[in-house]
């Protein structure tokens, strides 16, 4: 299984700068975030064309503000440093997350 790497405010820009990257923005007190974690790991394991990383929001508040993130969970899809898709809100389900990833990758020319 592919490991989901933890990113920080210090290596975020470098991490999303090349290729297609899914960023899981989460918090330890966010129940939907914790519930979605196994599904994020499944996506990471299933896709060789996608780098999956986690950003712990409470440790990167300024970065989250800069990105305009208002609530958790948030999933950001980057292509070569540019955000190309975003999914957020406590209503995100495992099914909607998987469907969003597949749809977003097909729309951006991958998948």
Domain ranges, residue 81: 5-102
CATH of the domain at 15: 3.40.30.10
Q: Would you say residue 110 lies in a domain?
A: no
Number of separate domains in the chain: 1
Q: Is residue 111 part of a domain?
A: no
Does residue 90 or residue 62 have the better pLDDT? 62
Please indicate, yes or no, if residue 85 is contained in any of the structural domains: yes
pLDDT at 107: 80
pLDDT bucket at 3, cuts 50 / 70 / 90: confident
In the predicted model, what is the mean pLDDT of residues 34-51?
A: 95
Query: How confident is the model over 74-103, as pLDDT tens digits?
Result: 999 999 999 999 999 988 999 999 999 999
Write down the pTM of the prediction. 0.93
Closest CA to 4 of 59, 43, 60, 49: 43
pLDDT computed for residue 38 by the predictor: 96
Structure confidence at residue 1 (pLDDT): 39
Residue 95 maps to a domain:
yes
In a domain, 13, yes or no: yes
63 belongs to a structural domain:
yes
For 7-33, the pLDDT digits (tens) are 999 999 999 999 999 999 999 999 999
Tell whether 19 is covered by a domain: yes
Contacts with 26 (C-beta within 8 Å, 6 or more apart), sequence order: 33, 34, 36, 37, 54, 55, 56, 57, 72, 73
Report if residue 97 sits inside a domain: yes
């Amino acid at each position: 299984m592919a490991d989901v790497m933890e990113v920080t405010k210090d290596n975020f820009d470098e991490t999303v700068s090349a290729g297609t990257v899914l960023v899981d923005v989460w918090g330890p007190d966010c129940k939907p975030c914790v519930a979605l974690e196994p599904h994020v790991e499944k996506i990471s394991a299933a896709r060789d064309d996608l780098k999956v990383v986690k950003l712990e929001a409470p440790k990167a508040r300024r970065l989250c503000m800069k990105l305009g993130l208002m609530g958790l969970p948030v999933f950001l899809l980057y292509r070569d440093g540019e955000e190309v898709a975003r999914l957020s809100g406590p209503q995100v389900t495992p099914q909607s997350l998987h469907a969003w990833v597949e749809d977003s990758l097909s729309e951006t020319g991958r998948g």
